[in-house]
Amino acid sequence: YPKITAVFGREWVPGVDNDSHLTILHTPLQGLLGYYSSSDEYPRQVHQFSNQREMIYIDSTNLLPGTSRYLGTLAHELTHAIQWRADRTENTWIDEGLAEIGKKLAGYPSLLENAFLASPSISLINWPVVSSETQKHYGGASLFMEYLAQRYSYESLRVLQDHPANGIAGVEGYLQNTNSAISFNEVFGDWIVANYLDEPGNGRYSYNNRDVQVAVIDVVRINRTITGNVPQYGARYFKLKPAEKQVNIAFRGQRLSSIFTQDPPSGSHCWWSNKGESIDSTLTAQFELPHSNNLTLSYSLWYDIEESYDYAYTQVSTDGGETWEILQGNHSSMTNPVGNSFGPGYTGKSNGWIRDEIDLRSYAGQRVLIRFEYVTDNSLHGTGICLDDIAISSIGFLENAESKDTRWKALGFKRTKNSFPQKYLVKVIEVGAKNRVIDLWLDENQEGDIHIEGFGSSLDHAVVIVAGLDRISSSPATFEIDFGAPG
């Protein structure tokens, strides 16, 4: 406890229960060694399953008190309790990476870094919403935070934890605070090189006092074209050790990335909730509803929402927004297994664009506010929800998100198109008596080439690293690399 709190500070004290003690509950857990639940930080009137105290859960079936594994898990979860006090909306990859640092500060190793090193082609920032698929992501986040700590100091990570910005923006704020004149993309690029090279010493491509090297690398030959994909802020490694002395390498990437799996059903834009942990995005408009027997709200929607934990709602208010009623559509769900839902809502995946409608006849003749709301918890998230072709029958209203002139008031929601320019980071490592790292320059079409020579003499081999650099999209980016002999 003193080692962790010396760097990150304390949890919320005296907390929701006005008691300075931290409760540790030993109980059988399914699929987890331990967890911290922020819902316990709220009164039961806010969250029905709250235990109304600062609390950590430890699996009594697989963890024996006093063992290294038990204490390491406890240190990780304690760090989460501290993080909630410091920044309740931080992204999962930051939270989990710092929690693994908390474990290391207490003297216990991360157990998941080898899973990442064995399979490094995963996104650092975009995690699957199924927790059983996140082990490699934990390992990657742990190594990234250790890299930052060794480059700038463990104590400096308090600045990152406390920074009000989240995700990449928070890391960039942290870098500015440490008087570092480099961007997140540059630090990320140095990190993915260090994960292969891990040069001796304390340089930008090294880890102190440990050996690190990614294990899965594609070995390529001359006169071959490789077509593949790479996660956003993930890396692919290609090793080249030809018999020829020279090689020409040409890279071509896709020009556009997408947020959603399908384009909006009409036009090019839709209203997107945004994505993140502990967010509450709303899209609200006022309507005068006539006396009519044909009064229906309909809309197209696409969603990818962490099932049973995060929800999107359609709501109506007749008192100017003082109170809200949640409306049930044909595709909304009443499931609420963990107590996070406030009523019928959209959760899980829509598997494409669908159409839903809601009967508004109960509000005929009234001035109403109609609101779409997206609420997430503080652990894992999907892409969110997007709305298009919002219509109300009998008043001739249709909002297709194509015009900036709109009656909708957006807080968190944003009007967006599906496609954005895709960027890449391509690095070439020349490995020999003296290693050299080269940034491959890419033009606006995300194309570039480089000539490498010296194989068999000054060079033992070369490694090409490819990473996607889109901060919004969760979809992998495709690319093509030609490895050719000069001719």
Enumerate the β-bridge partners of residue 218.
Answer: 238
What are phi and psi for residue 301, nearest 5 degrees?
-145, 145
Enumerate the β-bridge partners of residue 414.
Answer: 272
- Among residues of the chain, what percentage have pLDDT more than 70? 100
pTM given for the model: 0.94
Same fold yes or no, 218-257+421-484 and 270-417 = yes
Q: What average pLDDT does the segment 194-217 reach?
A: 89
The answer, yes or no, to whether residue 432 has pLDDT greater than 90, is yes
| 389-425 confidence digits (pLDDT tens) | 999 988 999 999 999 888 999 999 999 999 999 999 9
Mean pLDDT of all residues in the chain? Answer: 95
| Residue 78 banded pLDDT, cuts 50, 70, 90 | very high
Asked whether the CA dihedral 456, 459, 463, 469 is positive or negative, the reply is negative
Q: Which residue has the tokens 């999907």?
A: 382
Q: What does the alpha-carbon distance between residue 74 and residue 78 come to, in Å, rounded to a whole number?
A: 6
Task: Please enumerate in sequence order all residues whose Cβ is within 8 A of that of 379, keeping only pairs 6 or more positions apart, or say none.
Answer: 92, 95, 277, 309
The pLDDT assigned to 464 comes to 97
Q: Are 72 and 103 in contact (CB under 8 A)?
A: yes
User: Could you write out the DSSP letters of every residue in 225-241?
Assistant: EEEEEE-BT-EEEEEE-
The answer, yes or no, to whether residue 181 has pLDDT greater than 90, is no
| Residue 217 banded pLDDT, cuts 50, 70, 90 | confident
State both tokens at 413: 């929601």
Q: Are 370 and 316 in contact (CB under 8 A)?
A: yes
CATH of the domain spanning 218-257+421-484? 2.60.120.380
State both tokens at 69: 């594994």
The Cα-based distances of 385 to 32, 283, 299, 317 in angstroms read: 29, 11, 12, 21
| 253-296 confidence digits (pLDDT tens) | 999 999 999 999 999 999 999 999 999 999 999 999 999 989 99
Where do the structural domains in the chain lie, given as residue ranges?
A: 1-197, 218-257+421-484, 270-417
| Residue 373 banded pLDDT, cuts 50, 70, 90 | very high
Q: Are 325 and 371 in contact (CB under 8 A)?
A: no
The Cα-based distances of 73 to 213, 436, 462 in angstroms read: 25, 40, 39
Start-to-end Cα distance in the chain: 64
Task: Please enumerate in sequence order all residues whose Cβ is within 8 A of that of 444, keeping only pairs 6 or more positions apart, or say none.
Answer: none
Q: In 3D, which of 134, 120, 316 has the Cα closest to residue 231? A: 120
Amino acid at 19: D
User: Could you write out the DSSP letters of every residue in 427-471?
Assistant: EEEEEESS-EEEEPP--TTSEEEEEEE-BTTTEEEEEEEEEE--S
Q: What average pLDDT does the segment 435-453 reach?
A: 97
Q: What average pLDDT does the segment 5-17 reach?
A: 96
| HSE of 389, CA atoms in CB hemisphere, 13 A | 16
Pick the CATH number of 1-197 from 1.20.120, 1.10.390, 3.40.50, 1.10.3470: 1.10.390
Q: Which residue has the tokens 């968190």?
A: 412
| 319-372 confidence digits (pLDDT tens) | 999 999 999 999 999 999 999 999 999 999 999 999 999 999 999 999 999 999
CATH of the domain spanning 270-417? 2.60.120
Specify whether the backbone of 4 is left (phi greater than 0), alpha (psi in -120 to 50) or beta: alpha
Amino acid at 327: L
Burial class (CB in 10 A: 0-12, 13-18, 19+), 24: middle
Q: Could you tell me whether strands 280-288 and 419-421 are parallel, antiparallel, or unpaired per DSSP bridges? A: unpaired
The Cα-based distances of 19 to 10, 16, 53, 83 in angstroms read: 14, 8, 8, 19
